[in-house]
Amino acid sequence: MLSRLMSSSVRSLDRECNCTVRLLDDSEYTCTIQRDAKGQYLFDLICHHLNLLEKDYFGIRYVDPDKQRHWLEFSKSIAKQMKSQPPFTMCLRVKFYPPDPAALKEEITRYLVFLQVKRDLYHGRLLCKTSDAALLAAYILQATAGRTDLASKSVLTKANILFFVVCFFPRGQSPETSELNFLQKAQTLETYGVDPHPCKDVSGNPAFLAFTPFGFTVLQGNRRVHFLKWEEVTKLKFEAKTFHIYATQNEDRKIILTYFAPTPEACKHLWKCGVENQAFYKLEKSSQVRTVSSSNLFFKGSRFRYSGKVAKEVMEQSARIKRDPPEIHRSAGMVPSRSCPSITHGPRLTSVPRTRRRAVHISIMEGLESLRDSAHSTPVRSVSHGDSFMSSRGHLEDGSEASTSGVISDETYSPSDSVLPTPVAEHGAELSSARHLNGAPCSIDEEKESEARALKEGQAGEFRAGRRALRVVRSRPSQGADVEDLNKFILSVLRLFLVTIGLLFALLLLLIMLTESDLDIAFLRDIRKTPEFQQFHFEYFCPLRRWFACKLRWMGGFLVSK
């Protein structure tokens, strides 16, 4: 009896596993789940813990052993998705940014979105101009401190930001009002809601693809080079590392954009994010959601279906919420930030780089870095995107441009600490080491010296890199690309041949069944009268039918005797 009880308890422990979810304020929620538990079960536990009803804007993100980020699918088993051994570590994040944060029904939802957007600002995903960054920093200070006297701001550890932020600091505002003003200002920025996916364009230049509440966007340098509204996007598909965006503008202008992701897994993640965002923001009802394929051919590619509500349904459901506002425990802003154990720590980069700045710009940066402990950041390994990704091809039909490019910031968009840590090339450490200049405050003279030194080193590095690239191009002109294209072509032809053979075989079987049946159709009567059919019927079909009948009788007798 005792042994049976012990064995049953051991089996129950084997069926359970621990799971830790890091919330937006950097606190942790730990629970025990069954190994076969689905993602929806864990998500409901977290929402109950947070007293959150407007939960459709949020999701759970995790990183697999290959350093690839994923959104947890709620309809599938957690253990099967994680691809690692427990205990599991995940993060709660905003998955679908509300188009209008002021329209959110409950303050607890706005507070969580505020924490996410503040994190985006700190990591460089929410890139903006200097004046906008100062205003957003002032709102963060007001929301964090909750008082109007600047001298008592415990979060201000750098005094030289005061002279600039004092011009923007909102006086007499409660934390709730400051958070709402922060979100309303952030909503007007072109990088609001951007979750960047690194790729490369036709010239080998790094680009960031992103899906926002308003459409699909491509960022390069400090410009937005493409923007397509959700109603203009007609199809998203991928194959291996290649990602395609099909769109139609003005009813007769068709656009095709093609980019290359660093890995096939990253490309699939990009495609799934695009499918989910398009369904959430574009459709009127969740009943309109359809299963989509990554390819035009039925026998090839991945299939995926968004399983949640759409934005319009979420707003309608939020309007029906009737309860007393839940109590919000705002963080004091001194919780040290942590990152997932599977992610390597790297130097933190803010949205306003320190190099090539005037003194006032440096002051803003130091002030934003003084918010490091209150930004609830989860840094991801910094990488050099210039050396880490395959070349890409971005083209438009008839040579047209998708949209006019617009400057979004004074600096290049490079959210190094927020980009998924996919495998990078060996040269990625060169740029990463150079970016350590952003890691500590420095004076104006030190800034100038660092700028001059970095410029000389950069020119020398570019010259050496150019010579190496030239030697490689001369020795092996496009051999790798030609071989890869040839392999893709052969694989496509082979797949087409196998499918054609399979279809012909199926049609032949169907024709034999029809001709051997009792259907009295003129077409079938003519076939039955031909000498070839008579020979096939008596020499092959009838003996084969008798053989099958004999085998079936033998199996039936064997089963009856058993």
Instruction: Name the band, by pLDDT with cuts 50, 70 and 90, for residue 462.
Output: very low
State the Cα torsion 61-349-182-173 to the nearest 10°: 120
Mean pLDDT calculated for residue range 74-84:
91
Q: Is the pLDDT of residue 82 over 80?
A: yes
Write phi, then psi, for 479 (nearest 5 degrees).
Answer: -70, -45
pLDDT at 183: 96
Instruction: Write the pLDDT tens digit of every residue in 275-321.
Output: 999 999 999 999 999 988 877 655 567 889 999 999 999 999 999 99
Instruction: Write the pLDDT tens digit of every residue in 6-24.
Output: 454 445 556 889 999 999 9
Location of structure tokens 């397509």: 228
Mean pLDDT calculated for residue range 44-66:
95
β-partners of residue 236 are 245
Mean pLDDT calculated for residue range 357-379:
40
Mean pLDDT calculated for residue range 186-214:
91
3-class SS of residue 282: helix
Taking the C-alpha atoms of residue 125 and residue 416, their distance in angstroms, rounded to an integer, is: 9
Q: What is the mean pLDDT of the chain?
A: 74
Single-letter residue type at 6? M
Q: Is the pLDDT of residue 171 over 70?
A: no
Q: Is the pLDDT of residue 504 over 80?
A: yes
pLDDT at 515: 84
Highest mean pLDDT among 109-118, 144-153, 193-202, 358-367 belongs to: 109-118
pLDDT at 560: 86
pLDDT at 537: 85
Location of structure tokens 């994040």: 93
Return the HEC string of 472-495: HHHHCCCHHHHHHHHHHHHHHHHH
Mean pLDDT calculated for residue range 134-157:
63
Q: Which CATH architecture has domain 101-126+128-188?
A: Up-down Bundle (1.20)
Instruction: Name the band, by pLDDT with cuts 50, 70 and 90, for residue 194.
Output: very high
Taking the C-alpha atoms of residue 145 and residue 153, their distance in angstroms, rounded to an integer, is: 6
Among the residue ranges 207-216, 239-248, 400-409, 486-495, the one predicted with the least confidence is: 400-409
Q: Where does CATH 1.20.80.10 sit in the chain?
A: 101-126+128-188
pLDDT at 107: 95
Instruction: Write the pLDDT tens digit of every residue in 20-43.
Output: 999 999 999 999 999 899 999 999
pLDDT at 145: 67
Instruction: Name the band, by pLDDT with cuts 50, 70 and 90, for residue 556.
Output: confident
Single-letter residue type at 468? R
- Which tokens hold the place of 414? 């490079």
pLDDT at 354: 39
Instruction: Name the band, by pLDDT with cuts 50, 70 and 90, for residue 221.
Output: confident
- State the DSSP string of 396-423: -GGG--SS--EE--SS----TTTS----
Q: Is the pLDDT of residue 365 over 80?
A: no
Mean pLDDT calculated for residue range 536-555:
87
Q: Where does CATH 3.10.20.90 sit in the chain?
A: 17-94
Instruction: Yes or no: say if 24 and 61 are a contact pair by the CB < 8 Å rule.
Output: no
Instruction: Name the band, by pLDDT with cuts 50, 70 and 90, for residue 443.
Output: very low
pLDDT at 111: 96
For 204-320, CATH number?
2.30.29.30
For the segment(s) 17-94, the CATH number from 3.40.710.10, 3.10.20.30, 3.40.50.1820, 3.10.20.90 is 3.10.20.90
Q: Is the pLDDT of residue 396 over 80?
A: no
Q: Is the bond preceding residue 87 a cis peptide, omega within 30 degrees? A: yes
CA 231, 187, 261, 404 dihedral sign is positive
pLDDT at 203: 80
Taking the C-alpha atoms of residue 122 and residue 124, their distance in angstroms, rounded to an integer, is: 6
Mean pLDDT calculated for residue range 499-520:
87
Q: Where does CATH 2.30.29.30 sit in the chain?
A: 204-320
- Which tokens hold the place of 440? 């500590």
Question: What radius of gyration do the chain's Cα atoms show?
Answer: 30
> What pTM does this model have?
0.64
pLDDT at 343: 32
Helical residues (DSSP H) of 146-194, grouped into ranges: 162-165, 175-187
Mean pLDDT calculated for residue range 428-456:
39
Instruction: Yes or no: say if 145 and 154 are a contact pair by the CB < 8 Å rule.
Output: yes
Task: Determine the distance from the C-alpha atom of residue 339 to the mean position of all C-alpha atoms in its chain, rounded to a whole number.
Answer: 18
Share of the chain above pLDDT 70, in %: 65
Mean pLDDT calculated for residue range 429-449:
36
Taking the C-alpha atoms of residue 185 and residue 35, their distance in angstroms, rounded to an integer, is: 43
Instruction: Name the band, by pLDDT with cuts 50, 70 and 90, for residue 99.
Output: very high
Q: Is the pLDDT of residue 418 over 60?
A: no
Integer angstrom CA distances of residue 87 from 30, 77, 303, 341, 478: 10, 15, 30, 11, 46
pLDDT at 296: 62
Write phi, then psi, for 386 (nearest 5 degrees).
Answer: -65, -25
Mean pLDDT calculated for residue range 49-65:
95
Instruction: Write the pLDDT tens digit of every residue in 224-270.
Output: 999 999 999 999 999 889 999 999 988 778 889 999 999 999 999 99
Highest mean pLDDT among 88-102, 339-353, 373-387, 518-532 belongs to: 88-102
Q: Which residues contact 254 (CB under 8 A, 6 or more apart)?
A: 246, 247, 248, 397
- The 10 Å Cβ neighbour count of residue 348 is 20
Single-letter residue type at 216? F
